Amino acid sequence: MSQQKRILLLGSGGREHAIAWKLSGSSRCEKLFIAPGNAGTSACGENVAINPNDFPAVEKFVLENRIDMVVVGPEEPLVRGIWDYFQEKEHLKVIPVIGPSKAGAVMEGSKAWSKLFMQRHDIPTASYREFTTDTLREGISYLKQHTLPVVLKADGLAAGKGVIICKSHKEAVKEFQEMLGGKFGDSGSRVVVEEFLTGIEFSVFVLTDGKNYKILPEAKDYKRIGEKDKGPNTGGMGAVSPVPFVDEVMWQKVEERIIRPTISGLRKEKIIYNGFIFFGLIEVNGEPFVIEYNCRMGDPETEVVMPRLKNDLVTLFENCAKGTLGRVKIRTDKRTATTVFLVSGGYPGDYQKGKVISGFDQVKGSMVFHAGTAVNAAGETVTSGGRVIAVTSFGKDITSAIRKSKRNAKVIDFEGKYYRRDIGKDLL
C-alpha cells in the first residue's frame, strides 16, 4: 500500500481545512483537491468550485482528474447518498468514497431512526417518543405531562438548529406545533420528544470499515456563544482533546456499551459503513449515554483531533475502504490540543461578511484552520461566514495549550472579531 493517491475532499469548513492539512502532510498524497474549500485549504491543495451536493459535477471532476479517492467532510452529501451514487455506476464504483452509504448516513439523517436503532441494540440513550402530524393531539397531551425541561428534535437535518430544549410546557407545545407545521420544512415532519439528560457532554470518534473500528482521540466542544456556556448555540466555539474526565473506566463503558453494539448493529442490519462515526455522548452520574450520532467528523473537534492523530491519514482511509482497518494501530500525540474559534460579531445572529483578516504572519506556536474565509478581488483574505478561524495549539496541559491559542487569537484580527476566553476552563 505505498501507491500515491489523487484525492478529492468535499466541504469548506474548519473540519475540512484540518483534514486537508493532515492529508497534504502525507507522503502518500500525490495531489489534493478541495471542493469548494476556503481561503485556508488552498494552502493544502487546489480548491475547485464544485458544490458537494451536485453529484454529477463531482462525478465529472473525479473522472477528468483521475481521482483515486473521495473523502466526504460534511453530512449532507452522505445523507443524500453520494456513496450510493458512486456504487451505482460501473466507472465510479472502483473509486472509494470515505463516508457511509445512504443507509448508514441515516444515523444522522433521521433522529427517529437512530433512536429505534439504539433501542434495537440496547444502546443507552434518553427515553423518547416520536410524533407526526397524524399524532399531533397525542403529542400535545404527552408533552403537557412531560417532566421539564423537555427536548424536542426535528427528525431530519436542520443545519444544527433542529434541537430545542423547552423549559415550560407552553413553550414545548408551541415549538412542537411549529415544527410539525413546517418550521424546518420536511425535517420537522416527524418530531422526537426526549427526556432531558443532565451531565457533561463529550465527543467520541471512530473510523470503521463496517467490521473493524478504530477509536480516535476524544474531544469536548463548546457550543454556546457566551462564556460559562451562556447564550444561544453555535456551530462550535472551541474544543479540547483529550478530555480529562474520560478515564479508563469511562472508555471501557463507552466501548462496551456504545461503540461495539453500534458497529455490530450496523453489521447485523447489513448497513454498509466505511467512514467516521461521531458519537455525541453525555456522562450522567458516571454512565455514558448517546445524545446523537453523526455520520462525519465533528467541527470544531476535528481541529484538535487531526493534530493529535499520528497515523498517516491516506493509509487509514485506504484501510477503511478496503475493510482492513483491523491491521492498523492508532497512534496519538499525548499532548493536549485546544482550539479557540474566532467568530464574526453578531454571530450566531446576523453578522457582516467581507471583513479583511490580518495578522496571520504574526502567529507563533499555533496552527490556524480556516472556516468562513474567502479571498476577495484584491487578493485579501476576508471573512465569509459566522465562524471564521480556529486557532489550535498544543501544550503539556489545557492551561498551556489554551494560553497559546488565546495569544494567537489576539494577534489575528478582523472588525467585529469575538472569541470565548474560557474554553477548557471547566475542565481544570
Q: Which residues contribute to the site for ligand GLY (CB under 6 A)? A: 221, 236, 294, 298-299, 301
Of 163, 200, 272, 375, the one binding ligand AMP (CB under 6 A) is 163
Count Cβ atoms below 10 Å from residue 391 Cβ, excluding itself: 26
- For ligand AMP, the closer of residues 165 and 411 by Cβ is 165
Say if residues 239 and 222 touch (Cβ distance below 8 Å).
yes
Least distance between ligand GLY and beta carbon 271 (Å): 21
φ, ψ (nearest 5 deg) of residue 215: -90, 130
> Helix, strand, coil % (nearest 5) of the chain?
35, 30, 35
Task: Single out the residue of 226, 299, 349, 271 nearest to residue 102, CA to CA.
Answer: 271
For residues 197 and 272, which CB has a smaller minimum distance to ligand AMP in the complex?
A: 197
- Residues in region 220-239 near ligand AMP by CB under 6 A: 223
Environment class of residue 125 by beta-carbon count within 10 Å: exposed (0-12), middle (13-18) or buried (19+)?
buried
> Considering the rule CB under 6 A, would residue 194 count as an interface residue with ligand AMP?
yes
The mark string for 97-136 relative to ligand AMP (x by CB under 6 A, - otherwise) is -----------------------------x----------
- The CA-atom distances, in angstroms, between 94 and each of 16, 70, 312 are 24, 11, 22
Instruction: Report the nearest approach of ligand GLY to the CB of residue 108 (Å).
Output: 9
Strands 29-36 and 46-47: parallel
Which lies closer to ligand GLY via its Cβ, residue 214 or residue 387?
A: 387
Cell triple for 218: 476524544
The interface partner of residue 261, options being ligand GLY, ligand AMP, none and the CB cut-off 5 to 8 Å by kind, is none
Is residue 196 a contact point for ligand AMP (CB under 6 A)?
Answer: yes
Q: Cell 483529550 maps to which residue?
A: 242
Instruction: Write the interaction track for ligand AMP spanning residues 253-282; mark x where CB under 6 A is met and - where it is not.
Output: ---------------------------x--
- Toward ligand GLY, which CB reaches closer, 96 or 236? 236
Figure out which of the listed residues 57, 173, 197, 375 binds ligand AMP, where binding follows CB under 6 A.
197
**Helix boundaries (H) for 88-210:** 90-93, 102-109, 111-120, 136-144, 169-180
Cα distances (Å, whole numbers) of residue 305 to 22, 72, 326, 424: 10, 17, 20, 15
Among ligand GLY, ligand AMP, none, what binds residue 298 when CB lies within 5 to 8 Å by partner kind? ligand GLY
Task: Please check whether residue 79 is in contact with residue 109, taking contact to mean a CB–CB distance below 8 angstroms.
Answer: yes
Q: How far is the CB of 44 from ligand AMP (least distance, A)?
A: 28
**200 in contact with ligand AMP (CB under 6 A):** no
Which CB, 102 or 296, lies closer to ligand GLY? 296
221 binds, among ligand AMP, ligand GLY, none (CB under 5 to 8 A by kind): ligand GLY
SS3 state of residue 263? helix
d(CA 362, CA 369): 15
**With respect to ligand GLY, which residue has the nearer C-beta, 59 or 303?**
303
Binding partner of 128, given ligand GLY, ligand AMP, none, CB within 5-8 angstroms per partner class: none
Q: Provide the minimum distance between the beta carbon of 364 and ligand AMP in the complex, in angstroms, as a whole number.
A: 33
Q: Please name which of 408, 308, 296, 293 lies closest in space to residue 360, comparing C-alpha atoms.
A: 408
The site for ligand AMP, by CB under 6 A, has a size of: 12
Retrieve residue 241's grid coordinates: 482533546
Instruction: Single out the residue of 24, 96, 347 nearest to residue 33, CA to CA.
Output: 24
The three-class DSSP label of residue 85 is helix
Which residue in 123, 88, 119 sits closest to 102, CA to CA?
A: 88
Q: How does DSSP assign 139-159, residue by residue?
A: HHHHHHTS-SSEEEEESS--T
Residue 151 binds which of ligand AMP, ligand GLY, none (CB < 5-8 A, kind-dependent): ligand AMP
When asked if residue 50 is in the footprint of ligand AMP (CB under 6 A), the reply is no
Residue 236 interacts, among ligand AMP, ligand GLY, none and using kind-specific CB cut-offs from 5 to 8 Å, with ligand GLY
Kindly indicate which of the ranges 99-107, 140-148, 190-198, 408-416 contains the residues binding ligand AMP, using the contact rule CB under 6 A.
190-198
- For the CB of residue 22, give the shortest distance to ligand AMP in the complex, in Å: 24
Select the residue interacting with ligand AMP from 16, 292, 301, 312 (CB under 6 A): 292
Of the pair 8, 150, the CB lying nearest ligand AMP is at 150
Q: CA neighbours within 13 Å on the CB side: how many for 385?
A: 20
Under 8 Å between Cβ of 296 and 275: yes
Residues that bind ligand AMP (CB under 6 A): 126, 151, 160, 163, 194, 196-197, 201, 223, 280, 291-292
